[in-house]
Amino acid sequence: MSVSVRELYDDEEARESDRDSAIESAAGSDLSDGGRGGDKEEGLQMSLPRQKSGELSLNPSVTSDLSTHSLNEEQFEDYGEGEDADYSPVSPEDETHANGFSDLGPNKKISSTAFGRVHELEEQLKEQEARADQVMDSELRRHRDALNKLERDKNTQIEMLNNRVQQLEVENTEMLVSMNRLKTQTEKLDEVCVCVCVCVRILNLIEELRRELEHSQLYKLEAERLGRIRRSSISFGSDNVTRTRENELEQEVKRLKQENQRLREQNEDLNGQILSMSLHEAKNLISTQTKAQSLAAEIENASRDQLMEALKEQEDINVCLRQYMDKIILSILDHNPSILEIKY
């Protein structure tokens, strides 16, 4: 009985060594090609026909324990019939335990390979995380630089717009000053125009009065001539001629008196007309304020070049009006300076 058990034990060790070599070859092929693990396991079962079905499959987990192996050895020692009889599981649990039966050595090698693979994957994960952090940092820097550039561009545009606004405000102030100056000059020109119109009418009246004065002087000279004729006729003693001449002279004197009266009345009428014209021109001057307002509206709507051109034209007109006024005043001084005298 002891010899039989010893032979069974030796035979079992031989089978275990064969099984270890088969398991190592199956584990190597399984690691190289995981999709063909089932085929290699079936081949392993066919190469070991005398092993029990619980010893035919390789469990890749580390959960194979040595207790199953020791229990099988005790069964061989106790019964000694395990060499010829095949073991078949009687339940699914026994089959699961049988499939989980494996040796410790190959599992250690598989576990070390799996741990190496896991470690390699962890290293790859860390590298990918580091690369992701670098990419994120570079993107953050790029976006931060773009944001700073946009901020600088915005500040530059704001500064340019502020400078443009200040320039427009200065130009607007200059335009307002020019507009006020043009309004003042326009009012002065209106007054000058009124004065020129009045002076022209006064000159016309002066010319009429001068003609009337010349006519009166002619009548006076004619009267003096008739007086000399009358005195000469008296010296010669022609009484009839003298009386006739006296009657003529009396009629001439009456006519001259009537003419003088008429001239005086005309002078009064002319003074009244001058006064009425002055009032009319004053009313026109008041009405020109409305024109000045419309002119101010046109000035507001005009451009800078148009305003400068209008100002230049107005200055030329002012020069012409001053020259014309000087000529009128000189003409008055030459013909009748008493018109310019101020009487209180």
Per-residue model confidence (pLDDT) at position 167:
92
**pLDDT grade, residue 308 (50/70/90)?**
confident
Residue 57 has pLDDT above 60, yes or no: no
pLDDT at 154: 94
Average pLDDT value over all residues in the chain: 67
CA triplet 301, 303, 305: central angle to 5 degrees? Answer: 150
Q: What are the structural domain ranges in the chain?
A: 110-230+248-292+305-335
**pLDDT score of 15:** 64
Residue 282 has pLDDT above 80, yes or no: no
C-alpha distances in Å from residue 94, one per residue of 80, 83, 247, 253, 330: 21, 20, 186, 177, 148
What average pLDDT does this structure show over 244-261?
76
User: Phi then psi for 61, rounded to 5 degrees?
Assistant: -85, 170
- Which is more confidently placed, 241 or 126? 126
Question: What is the distance between the alpha carbons of residues 342 and 340, in angstroms, rounded to a whole number?
Answer: 6
What's the confidence (pLDDT) of residue 108? 52
pTM above 0.85, yes or no: no
Q: Could you tell me which residues come within 8 angstroms of residue 109 by beta carbon, excluding any fewer than 6 positions away?
A: 24, 27
**Helix (H) or strand (E) run with residue 63 in it:** none
pLDDT at 42: 43
Residue 245 contacts residue 278 (beta carbons within 8 Å): no
More confident of the two residues 218 and 267: 218
State the amino acid at position 216 in one-letter form: S
Helices and strands counted in the chain (H then E): 7, 0
Whether pLDDT at 183 is above 70? yes
**Residue 338 confidence class, pLDDT cut points 50, 70, 90:** low
The alpha carbon of residue 98 and the mean position of all alpha carbons in its chain are separated, in whole angstroms, by 84
Q: How far is CA 196 from CA 38, 192, 283, 286, 323, in A?
A: 128, 6, 16, 16, 11
Q: What is the tens place of the pLDDT at every residue in 131-175? A: 999 999 999 999 999 999 999 999 999 999 999 999 999 999 998
Say which residue, 287 or 28, is predicted with more confidence. 287
d(C-alpha 46, C-alpha 43), whole Å: 5
User: What confidence tier does 284 reach under pLDDT thresholds 50, 70, 90?
Assistant: low
Report the distance separating Cα 249 and Cα 215, nearest Å: 17
Which of helix, strand or coil describes residue 33? coil
Other Cβ atoms less than 10 A from the Cβ of 26: the count is 20
Q: Give the per-residue pLDDT at 205.
A: 78
User: Cα dist. 213→195, 220, 262, 264, 267 in Å?
Assistant: 26, 10, 12, 11, 12
Judged by average pLDDT, the poorest of 149-158, 231-240, 316-325 is 231-240
Q: How confident is the model at residue 103 (pLDDT cuts 50, 70, 90)?
A: very low
Give me 264's structure tokens. Answer: 């005086």
- Give me the pLDDT at residue 274, please: 62
137-146, 181-190, 249-258: which range is least confident on average? 249-258
Which range has the worst mean pLDDT, 7-21, 27-41, 47-61, 176-190?
A: 47-61
Q: Do 331 and 202 meet the contact criterion of CB atoms below 8 Å apart? A: no
What pLDDT shows up at residue 166?
93
**Out of 244-253, 261-270, 278-287, which region has the weakest mean confidence (pLDDT)?**
278-287
Using CA atoms, how far residue 236 sits from 18, 228, 242, in Å, is: 202, 13, 10
Is residue 239 within a helix (H) or strand (E), and if so which, with residue range? helix 239-301
Q: What pLDDT score was predicted for residue 156?
A: 93
pLDDT the model gives residue 297 = 62
- Highest mean predicted confidence (pLDDT) among 17-31, 129-143, 176-190, 196-210: 129-143
